[in-house]
Amino acid sequence: MTPKTRDAATAQKDDSQLRQKEMIAAHYSRLARTHETGERSVYTFVPGNLTELIRNFDLLPVLPEINALQSAMRGKSKEYIAAAEREGHSEDVCTYVKCDVGMKRAGNVGPTGERLPDPDLLLLSYTGCFTFMKWFEILKREYDCPVTMLHVPYQGEGEITKSMRDYVVEQIKKKVIPALEKASGKKYDEDKLKEQLRRSAQAEDDLVAVLESAKHKPSPIDAYFGGVYYIGPIFTAFRGTQDAVDYYRLLRAETEEAVRAGRGPITPSGELKEEKYRLVVEGPPNWTNFRQFWEMFVDEGAVCVASTYTKVGGVYDAGFRHDPDRPLESLAEYCLGCYTNLNLPSRVEMLERYVREYQADGLLINSIKSCNSFSAGQLMILREIEERTGVPGGFVESDLVDPRYFSGANIKNRLESYFQMIEQKRQGVTA
């Protein structure tokens, strides 16, 4: 997004954004040229993705959720969803899935306007979302290619046990690696993987430093709306690459400079000059009206200082790092620890920690109509956080990529009422 006004701070901030856009555009262009280069691709999902292992075989990752949200931001998702529903997909089905199906019908054109290759392998890392399994059943019919499933046990008791880790490692050894070897025609290289994981840990260190900068007042970042840009490279195709290391080093340097200068986050309207409200946000954003949604917060001087969505591809701020000395065990622990694989008590504890550590004025939930992985239990989470922390909770509703379920007027009214509630809380007024 390009701010309306540009000063030195905005230009500096744009350095990392430009780097990120170049990285992603180059990746999609590389995918579009696979019919010329002979490179092969693997479709997989964001939570629990094995990007380093995929790239160990020089395979290119493709993330269907990312394609869907990019389609929504380009105004394409409405027609794609309609096409899927005409084929019989229910109105209640995850709109990411329907958008993906519709995109395939329209030629499988990616966000850069170039056609994406058919997958050479579907790699399903199952981490807490049942829809993923049904989604890959659909994709298998569409593409008629091999499917390999990595089953990741749910953290029902709120911890990763040795037996859970061993179970995932065994699958990686006996199922995933052989499937990747067959798809690529190359052998597994553990020394190469260790180096990839070393780079992953470097990038993860810098990402955590960026996200935790929001503990400062004013926060130099928006950890929800701005955060979706920050997590882009590490949650998709670039973890384990030098490009990711360089990007996060640059982003961290920019953020640290913003902290020293006492600047607020860069928004679609430029730098936010006055921070009035600090929020923790639960749930994914709406992608069809992303800028409009963000500007509702900007208009009120509200900054999102922490969010659960930016942990969907890894809960690095809880201490996890990919470990080159334990490569396969580390990959297993990463898959087991993703946000969608955590039970509700663990999610509540995370949110309570965020509210306290980031000195938030409230918890806001954006409940997604078609995403049960996030929406289930959210009202319980809201009430529990209110009781534990004393901060007021807010609740709005939208959808991932279906514009029919974004009511700007309704959301704006709810947000205005919520900020009034926070003001009353500050003044000691009770309802």
The candidate with the shortest Cα–Cα distance to 394, out of 416, 376, 409, 372, is 416
- In this model, does residue 7 exceed pLDDT 80? no
Backbone angles phi, psi at 334, to 5 degrees: -60, -50
Buried b (16+ CB within 10 A) or exposed e, 59-96: bbbbbbbbbbbbbbbeebbbebbebbeeeebeeebbbb
Q: Which CATH architecture describes the domain 192-426?
A: 3-Layer(aba) Sandwich (3.40)
The distance of Cα 399 from the centroid of its chain, to the nearest Å, equals: 15
0.75 exceeded by pTM: yes
What does the pLDDT look like over 349-408, one tens digit per residue? 999 999 999 999 999 999 999 888 888 899 999 999 999 999 999 999 999 999 999 999
- Cα-Cα-Cα-Cα torsion 270, 271, 276, 281, nearest 10 degrees, comes to 80
Buried b (16+ CB within 10 A) or exposed e, 158-194: eebeeebbeebbebbeeebbebbeebbeeebeeebbb
Q: Are 306 and 280 in contact (CB under 8 A)?
A: yes
pLDDT (average), residues 214-223: 98
| Per-residue pLDDT at 6 | 35
- Alpha carbon distances (Å) from 405 to 80, 87, 183, 383, 402: 15, 21, 40, 24, 6
Q: Are 211 and 371 in contact (CB under 8 A)?
A: no
- Is pLDDT larger for residue 135 or for residue 172? 172
- Cα-Cα-Cα-Cα torsion 289, 295, 300, 302, nearest 10 degrees, comes to 90
| Per-residue pLDDT at 14 | 61
- Where exactly does CATH 3.40.50.11900 map onto the chain? 192-426
Token pair 């690459």 is found at 241
What does the pLDDT look like over 289-335, one tens digit per residue? 999 999 999 999 999 999 999 999 999 999 999 999 999 999 999 99
What does the pLDDT look like over 71-103, one tens digit per residue? 999 999 999 999 999 999 988 889 999 999 999
What does the pLDDT look like over 251-273, one tens digit per residue? 999 999 999 999 999 999 999 99
Query: What single-letter amino acid sits at 286?
Result: N
Instruction: Find all residues with CB under 8 Å of 399, minimum gap 6, and list them.
Output: 95, 286, 288, 368, 369, 370, 405, 406
Q: List residues bridging with 281 in a β-sheet.
A: 307, 364
Q: Are 289 and 262 in contact (CB under 8 A)?
A: no
- In this model, does residue 241 exceed pLDDT 50? yes
| Per-residue pLDDT at 11 | 37
| Per-residue pLDDT at 9 | 39
- Domain 8-186: which topology? Rossmann fold (3.40.50)
| Per-residue pLDDT at 131 | 84
What does the pLDDT look like over 17-73, one tens digit per residue? 889 999 999 999 999 999 999 999 999 999 999 999 999 999 999 999 999 999 999
- In this model, does residue 4 exceed pLDDT 50? no
d(Cα 300, Cα 225) in Å, to the nearest integer? Answer: 15
How many residues are there in the chain?
431
Both tokens assigned to 76: 């394409």
The candidate with the shortest Cα–Cα distance to 26, out of 243, 321, 316, 266, is 243
Q: Are 282 and 304 in contact (CB under 8 A)?
A: no
d(Cα 42, Cα 124) in Å, to the nearest integer? Answer: 10
Angle in degrees, CA 275, 279, 281, rounded to 5: 140
Token pair 């949200």 is found at 69
Buried b (16+ CB within 10 A) or exposed e, 217-248: ebbbbbbbbbbbbbbbbbbbbbbbbebbbbbb
The candidate with the shortest Cα–Cα distance to 24, out of 111, 116, 124, is 111
What does the pLDDT look like over 411-427, one tens digit per residue? 999 999 999 999 999 88
Instruction: Find all residues with CB under 8 Å of 380, minimum gap 6, and list them.
Output: 344
The candidate with the shortest Cα–Cα distance to 17, out of 262, 213, 265, is 265
Token pair 């394609």 is found at 67
- In this model, does residue 124 exceed pLDDT 70? yes
| Per-residue pLDDT at 257 | 96
290: three-class secondary structure by DSSP: helix
| Per-residue pLDDT at 272 | 94
d(Cα 205, Cα 396) in Å, to the nearest integer? Answer: 33
- Where exactly does CATH 3.40.50.11890 map onto the chain? 8-186
| Per-residue pLDDT at 50 | 96
